[in-house]
Amino acid sequence: MVENSQIESSFAEIRKRNGDTTKFDQDKITNAIYKALLATSEGDRDLAQSLTNGVLNKLSSQGFGTENPPSVEDIQDMVESTLIEQGHSEIAKSYILYRHERRKIRDEKMKVLNTKVLDPVSKEFDLNCLRVLASRYLFRNKKNEITETPTQLFERVSILIGIGDLLHDSSVFNAAGTTPQNIEEAKEYLTKLDQFDYKFKIDEYYLNQYHFRGLVNGYIDLAQKGQAKISFKELLTKIAAKEFTDYGARITEYYDLMVNQVFLPNSPTMMNAGGRLGQLSACFVLGMPDDMGKIMKTTSDAALIFKSGGGVGINYSELREEGDIVASTSGVASGPVSFMNIINTVTDVIKQGGKRRGANMGIMDVSHPDIEKFITNKTEPGVLENFNVSVGVWGDFWNALVDSEDGAYTLRSTRDGSPVREINAHHLIDLIATSAWKSAEPGLIFFDLINKYNVFAKARGGPLRATNPCGEQSLYPYESCNLGSINLANLTKRTADGQYEFDWQKYEEIVRKTTRFLDNVIDVNHYPVPEINVASKESRRIGLGVMGVADLLYKLRIPYNSKEGYEFMGKLSEALSYYSMEESVALAQSRGAFPLCSKTEYPEGKIPIAGYYEKPKQRHYYDWDALIAKIQKHGVRHVLTTTVAPTGTLSMLADCSNGMEPTFALVFEKRVTVGRFFYTNKIFEEVLRENGLYSEELLAKVADNYGSVKGIDEIPEWIQNIFVTAMDIHWTDHLMAQAVWQDWIGNAIAKTINMPNDVSAEDVKAAYLLAHELGLKGITVYRDGSRHKQVLHMTGENSQKTFEVTATDYLHDYITNNIKNPYILKQINEALKVVVPQELPRQDHVAAEPEIEEKLCPTCKNTLVLTEGCHICIECGYSGCTSG
């Protein structure tokens, strides 16, 4: 042992391919050999270490050492010769193939990034992650050439976020708001930003002109509230004198969160932080009053938002119905849908930040006289293609549906609330269900449940009436959503027996850091219109969420749709909101509560968390009463802190599963000219290799089984039970999973309720009823084959389902113990009574209806996959939603 340590210590450095030297790391040799061993089904760590020692001895005997550091190629050559000399010819062959594959990947990475040298992040991120970075996030010049490295991207984001901390330094910030400053002096600097490009730095991090702009605007915001202790020139003097070098550690902290794939902010932050646009928010809500001037103002604001990289949600219910008389002109109103078409056209012609078209949510209240036209509008191809549409459900409609004998419901004038006509609530819900069965739209937004614990209604003068484009974030007009997601799959640690366990202490630490990160986003954001700047800072609404849930459960060997899985996800959700709100209180103590806090229901001891009220206290993991007392004493920094947003593209960057969704498919194929190539879930692949099961033939079998291992004889039952996919989970259990997260999330959850091709419209209606009973704030249903002519990407030509899907006992027990309404109970039980095997259409099979063209990626023209209520391209990372 001493001898090996002495040998290792003689190699202090290694020469990299670009000629630089870096610290010698023996573990990298061991890991490379271990991967070669795994490929030959000999995953032996001790053998890998023994062979590494042989490599070190060989290097030493060849004269390499402190004075003559070996190169990467020298070490790889020594590994090959050591393996051969010690009689491991098969392992040597595997290592040579591994080395060749690494060289190919390295070359491909350089091609994707248009570079001859890989930076540190490029070396660590896998090829697919880099493809996403290159296609969506890295800055480009006017010739569309990449002009920054991945390292530079994460640095420019981190520097801007770190400025938010510096502005709240005790020498700069005065929470009391009693210090006047010369604001005009600070504003002068906004006219000469280019003169301050890379002139100042925080520790080792230089501020470009857009970082400098963030510093100026952040200072002006404080000064306008009297919270700046010093003048802006004094602030610059302190920066120049290196009085804020400690904040370099904060910048590094934010950088590490991202490059270690533990946390990522929403896409606009990644695209725009430290750049010209500087707009960091994912999405916004705008009002649409029944006034032509205000309609045009909303249209103009929407255009500016699309240009800046954001998406828009609008409730069109204030617009008078089609055919109504317009008193000012004696004309006839064209109706809300016509104005949606205007926004749709604006979206088409303005790309988001030069990257892609914008995303929209169009909402109509269920009581609007045009509701039937709105519901059926998108069943036709080519209509409102830039919109998700949802029906806003309120308590009066729900009561008419489930409690009244005749289901009579009145549609009312938007002008004065007078009755226009009466419809049957059952007929209307059937119309919604049938439309969603055909085309996956509209969704439902349960505004009665959204506003049940809305602590902000009193301060804003009314209930929430709109959401962002994917429905998970309810907002008042001109508010923004500033989102970020924690990769839970990377918060595990190995136990002595080699198994994984979740690191709860690390989770708390990350939740607190990322809550601060998102708080800073609000302050350094360059908002597209002034009203958004005001509204966003009045409420300081953030949305901290998660991704990688399915991968985490795979690591922990917990089935997603099981009692253990549901209870574990419930604890994750409760911890997320508890720690983020507790950190929000801590930030309120040092930085101040959000400006409208005193006008909300927080001082009354109320919180926007359903689980606190609806779950027995003995089932709470955290002391919510103590937290409420802190809020009453100190206030809270953010009106709401948690949202589970779509993370399609972000999940590709973080190399993990989407949001809190189950894995779409464990294996799916990409057809290339030379044959079949399989994308395989990395944790699943690791388990197959560890158990001697891995083969191309088995991967093909899983791909042809709709990406599932269910019913495949070669796969042990314990693996089948743990590695469940969206296809394996009954639609009622999809709803249950969403519900256990919703119990503790302040805003809502982005999730797609996957339903098999053979469900009926009555089943879709039952899903709506169950969703409302479970307390969900919205629901998006996707029946396989409803929106596309063929099954997407993950199946082969001979695909055949070998398994059936049934609801879990946990779900049945919930229905028995909790649902008492006779009408709801009957509808749900009817849907669950007969379980039919899922016979999904094969790739050459055309769904009966509707005849709708496949939705193709506008960037690379591959077919899009619908997940979390959002279209995403698994090839290039394009996402139809702004958050992820």
**Residue 226 zone, left/alpha/beta (φ > 0; ψ -120 to 50; rest):** left
What are the residues whose beta carbons fall under 8 Å from the beta carbon of 692, sequence distance 6 or more?
41
Neighbouring residues of 251: CB distance < 8 A, sequence distance ≥ 6: 155, 158, 159, 161, 162, 202, 203, 205
Residue 443 φ then ψ, to 5°:
-85, 175
Dist. CA 314–CA 144, nearest whole Å = 33
- Measured distance CA(104)–CA(755) in Å, rounded: 40
As given in the structure block, the two tokens for residue 51 are 């062979």
What is the DSSP code (8-state) at residue 137? I
Strands annotated E in 299-453: 311-315, 325-326, 331-332, 351-352, 356-357, 360-365, 387-393, 408-412, 419-424, 443-446
Instruction: Give SS3 for 754.
Output: strand
Q: Which of 318, 472, 574, 868 is catalytic?
A: 472
Structure tokens at 139: 């800055």
Integer Cα distance of 543 and 448 in angstroms? 21
Catalytic entry in 129, 283, 470, 876: 470
Peptide bond into 850 cis (omega under 30): yes
CA distance linking residue 683 with residue 662, whole number of Å: 14
Q: What amino acid is encoded at 425 in this protein?
A: A
Annotated active-site residue 470? The verdict is yes
Q: Which of 468, 482, 487, 533 is catalytic?
A: 468
Burial tier of 767 (Cβ tally within 10 Å: 0-12, 13-18, 19+) = buried
> Is residue 472 annotated as part of the catalytic site, yes or no?
yes
Exposed / middle / buried, residue 722 (Cβ in 10 Å: 0-12, 13-18, 19+):
buried
Active site residue 468: yes
CA 283 to chain centre: 13
Helix (H) or strand (E) holding 871: strand 870-872
CA distance 638 to 162: 19
Q: Quick one: the chain helix, strand, coil %, rounded to 5?
A: 45, 15, 40
| C-alpha count within 13 angstroms, C-beta hemisphere, residue 602 | 25
Residue 798 CA to residue 469 CA, distance in Å, equals 37
DSSP track, 342-363: HHHHHHHHSEETTTEE--EEEE
Question: SS3 of 544, please?
Answer: strand
**CA–CA dist 177, 592 (Å, integer):** 10
Q: Are strands 356-357 and 360-365 parallel, antiparallel or unpaired?
A: unpaired
**Closest alpha carbon to 380 in 782, 848, 781, 850:** 850
Amino acid at 439: S
Q: Which H or E run includes 435?
A: helix 425-439
Residues 6 or more apart in contact with residue 802 via CB below 8 angstroms: 705, 710, 711, 712
**883: nearest Cα among 200, 261, 310:** 310
Tell which residue, 160, 166, 353, 121, has the closest CA to residue 265: 160
3-state DSSP assignment of residue 779: strand
**CA 651, 655, 656 angle in degrees (round to 5)?**
65
Which positions are catalytic?
468, 470, 472
